[in-house]
Chain A
């Protein structure tokens, strides 16, 4: 007996309700995830953006004979405690470089102490009431203000928050990633090409395959231990250097690149391979002229994501000594260096409010670089993507 529309509609109501529930639940999950992201990034921005600004004060600097020996003598008693000690320490070397400064007095904008910085930003400050009055007066006269913090982007770490910067760590990250990329990309892609296009299907290659997949799941700190044992202790690669850091991260990134490349190679339609073999290509020509160009977007995407992962890695680098105090920017593969997440880790260990601010600022820079890398991955994929 056939059912009427009303009967069917009644039955359907439950099904429709279920699908509506499912939709609501998935929307809820999305909203929750988005909320976490907004809170996280918002918090970072609130805490970190002030790190991009730094208080400066305009004071009279007296480049006297005495100042060359005792730098604090260059500034007046009333403002001496307001000026960054890091700035004062640099006075003798600046006088060395510019002899004409000797015996002159100039009004200069100088980097203020972090206590002044925190006071101007409205945070709790350790300034004494007398010093606060001096700062207030300077502000009234327009001689104290927050300016863009170039120091943060041009120097390395420092014990004084107002002199600490992310540049050394950023350079360390770049150098480390260059090593990682140089090792990982050719080795990873070639391994994947061999396994996917050339290797016979036997027990040995199956075991290799399983192990590569396992490697991708090994906790990263173990790669650090391996790096310590093999690279530093056995091969004598300099400790804390971008070289050893990069090689260690390469171990970690290699399986990611191999797996991504194999997936990309597998997605090339077999018709293309057959066509190429059909016109008399050798196996290598098939791979080089047809399969690799077609899988390039996938390979690049996978590699960049692997690189981004390596960039955010800290644990294995602790073991090979890359969480270090590096005050100078150095573009060398063998000098001691640190990387951005390690720098953030170091700053996070300091409870003073000025360093909390630096920590958040460092995270913002790290996130910006990560987002740039991922955006590059997307763009590259779009650029090389071809229909077939």
Chain B
């Protein structure tokens, strides 16, 4: 179990080591869930605000009092050992946990001033604004073209065929896949290689113009070269989208993320600017994990 220090550290993990001084020196950083050292050139507009989020699978509590702010047009990486709740947390952001029976959620996940868990919130509307890319590439068993065009058509974002063609091309270009597939748009999406399939899934997610893209270990099933391609892509996509990614690979978090959150046993241990996190973590547990002492 966690010791007292980490229990106390949850949520406001960032200001624990320096105590009140941090709070006085950087009052805005003292709010729970905000990282201490902000990346100076980064965008600081709030995208998703999470307060006191608790989640249970039946009797088992998988998330404990999570407080975190996710900033627009940044890449936020969630790291931590297996079963620490990072994927569960990610799925709270677009209510994919609704699909699992016996899940109980408490707390606030706020986007655009609205609680996403409130009964008035339609989860379909939420998922339209918060897209998702999964661990295993899962293109629809349809053509490459249909994979992209399906969702925009369903949401009435496109009308005429020409509009649709244009949108498919734009999404594929943004996902860096256009040159590889432009001559075989009507072949099945499943005929592509794993890395291409994953980029197709990214193209599918960005085709509906969401605000946020959630990525659940998007490269864990891919080879190093495909992984590098996807990482470059994330770097490019953050100009347009807010990206939250779960990763097992700490080097990947260090490479792509602006902010990194470290989860352990359902708690958010530390949330910080990635550079600070990897060079000078404020919490001992984080340092132990990052340096490979466990996990």
Contact = CB atoms under 8 A, between A and B. Distances in A.
Contacts of B205: 278-279
Interface string B128-155: 1001111010111100000000110011
B46 interface: no
A388 B141 contact: yes
A278 B190 contact: no
A289 B101 CA distance: 23
Contact of B190 (A273, A280, A387): A387
A279 B150 contact: yes
A272 B141 contact: yes
B144 to A, nearest CB: 14
B127 interface: yes
Contact of A279 (B125, B136, B141, B204): B204
Contacts of A174: none
A216 B190 CA distance: 37
A194 interface: no
Interface string B64-95: 00000000000000000000000000000010
A277 B140 contact: no
Interface in B190-220: 190, 201, 204-205, 208
B127 A274 contact: no
B124 interface: yes
Interface residues of B, number: 27
A276 B134 CA distance: 11
A387 B151 CA distance: 21
Nearest to B137: A271
A279 B134 contact: no
Contacts of B96: 274, 277-278
A269 B205 CA distance: 19
Interface string B176-193: 000000000000101000
B2 interface: no
B99 interface: yes
A273 B100 CA distance: 12
A275 B201 contact: yes
A103 interface: no
Nearest to A200: B101
B39 to A, nearest CB: 29
B131 A278 contact: yes
Interface in A256-284: 269, 271-282
Given A200-B101, A387-B190, A280 B140 contact: no
B150 A271 contact: no
Given A201-B101, A271-B134, A289-B150, A278 B141 contact: no
A177 B151 CA distance: 39
Given A280-B155, A282-B124, A285-B154, A275 B208 contact: no
Interface string B94-106: 1010010100000
Contact of A277 (B99, B136, B141, B204): B99
B140 A278 contact: no
Given A279-B204, A281-B151, 17 more contacts: A201-B101, A269-B138, A271-B136, A271-B138, A274-B138, A275-B140, A278-B94, A278-B96, A278-B131, A278-B132, A278-B133, A279-B131, A280-B151, A280-B208, A281-B124, A289-B154, A388-B190
Interface of A: 200-201, 269, 271-282, 285, 289-290, 294, 386-388
5 contacts: A272-B138, A277-B127, A279-B205, A282-B124, A387-B190
